[in-house]
Amino acid sequence: MTKLSFTHRFEPATVAGSPPLLLLHGTGGDESDLLPLGRAVSPGSALLSPRGPVPENGMPRFFRRLAEGVFDEADLRRRARELADFIAEAREAYGIAAPVALGFSNGANIAAALLLLHPGVLAGAALLRPMMPLAEPPVPDLTGTPVLMLSGMADPIVPAENAARLAGILGRAGADVAHDIQPAGHGLGQADVTAVQAWMARMVEGERA
């Protein structure tokens, strides 16, 4: 494995024209966690899966939090910049296009921060159970950037109004936002997989049109 600034796994594309995926795990996951999900939602895509560099009680995360749902925003901004730099490294090392992020929970939150703080780094994002990462987010130019948000109706961690605010901010920035509410909690189920598969297929068809 090529040595870059993040511990990671990379699987090259097997189908030409498939968008590369950046897989961003939740708290306690690692660089192998979302590989099966990535293969399921976009067969043939290159998969780039970094490990979060911030330990919390021995569990990897992508940035520090002060309490559940309370983020260390200074650390979040620094870690988002480091992740953006890693993506640039990986694109050069592996010869891939700007990736579409597929993030769950903490991974979805760092992906949302990338969209807001570093527009252009991602070609799109599927955010699974995301929260608003910043108290006073910038409104960048995300014109045409496809974003899927999948929230859980019974999610005990993410308040509905918090996720709705994130969808609103991304929409005002020009992103093409689809925000679906799943009959679920914070965990993922087959309905999430099916929703991301369909969204990825529409995105690829749109690029070909």
Show which residues are catalytic.
105, 155, 186
> By CB neighbour count within 10 A (0-12 exposed, 13-18 middle, 19+ buried), where does 72 fall?
middle
**Contact (CB, 8 A) for 80 and 113:** yes
Evaluated on CA atoms 104, 110, 112, 118, the torsion sign reads: negative
- CA dist 5 and 140 (Å) reads 26
**Contact (CB, 8 A) for 147 and 170:** yes
- 147: Cα separation from own chain's centroid: 10
**Contact (CB, 8 A) for 136 and 56:** no
Paired with 50 in beta bridges are: 8
Phi-psi region of 61 (alpha: psi -120 to 50; beta: other; left: phi over 0): beta
From the CA atom positions of the chain, what is the Rg in Å? Answer: 15
Evaluated on CA atoms 95, 100, 103, 108, the torsion sign reads: positive
